Amino acid sequence: MNPCPCGHYPDRNRCRCTRQQVQNYVGRISKPILDRIDICAEASPVSFEELRGQGTGETSFDIRKRVEKARAVQKKRFAGTDIRYNSQMSGGHIRSFCRLEKEDEQFFQRVYRNMNLSARAYTRILKVARTIADLEGWEMIAHEHLCESISYRSLEEKYWNN
């Protein structure tokens, strides 16, 4: 979804929408609907030079291999259950497979309160953090995985809590 009628916000060089227009535009989507979106990521425009330049990032093939590895880990984790992916975990599974270190538990508690998260957002953040850890080949969810998962929610705050 674009965050404004012209589709260029927050690029103020291209977007001429007023703050009120942006608020009205994003105000059409309700908080309960937003709460069901696991990842909110802002995509910056790509310049012509970047398109023509030599790519130094990860290739699609490499990304696919990481995803296949993560899926294999999840298949093993959920063997004998009707669950295939982290997104399908229920409360009991989350408590078993999304354990955090004590410091990270305290950190997440502060984030939960400060961001005024819902129970749904709490579980979705943990599921995404579990997936990030799987993609990186980690057994436990590390602080950086939790922070990255939380950051995908913070863009929601940028646009929809004006």
**pTM of the shown model:** 0.83
**Structural domains in the chain, sorted by start:** 54-160 (1.10.8)
pLDDT for res 71: 96
14-38: pLDDT as tens digits? 899 998 998 888 888 878 887 888 8
Asked whether residue 156 carries a pLDDT value surpassing 80, the answer given is no
CA atoms within 13 Å, Cβ hemisphere of 129: 27
pLDDT for res 31: 80
| Residue 13 or 67, more confident | 67
Instruction: Give the type of residue at 98.
Output: C
Among 2-11, 109-118, 130-139, whose mean pLDDT is lowest? 2-11
pLDDT, averaged across the chain: 89
pLDDT for res 33: 82
36-66: pLDDT as tens digits? 888 887 777 778 888 887 767 788 899 999 9
**Residue 84 backbone zone (phi > 0: left; psi -120 to 50: alpha; other: beta):** alpha
Taking the C-alpha atoms of residue 29 and residue 33, their distance in angstroms, rounded to an integer, is: 7
CA angle 147, 152, 156 (to 5 degrees): 130
Asked whether residue 155 carries a pLDDT value surpassing 60, the answer given is no
pLDDT for res 162: 45
Average pLDDT of 90-104?
Answer: 95
Q: How many CB atoms within 10 Å of residue 112? A: 16
pLDDT for res 72: 97
| Cα–Cα distance list, 58 to 63, 64, 65 (Å) | 7, 10, 11
Instruction: Give the type of residue at 140.
Output: M
Taking the C-alpha atoms of residue 131 and residue 133, their distance in angstroms, rounded to an integer, is: 5
**Hey, what are 157's tokens?**
């705050």
pLDDT for res 27: 82
Q: For residues 159 and 29, is the Cβ–Cβ distance under 8 A?
A: no
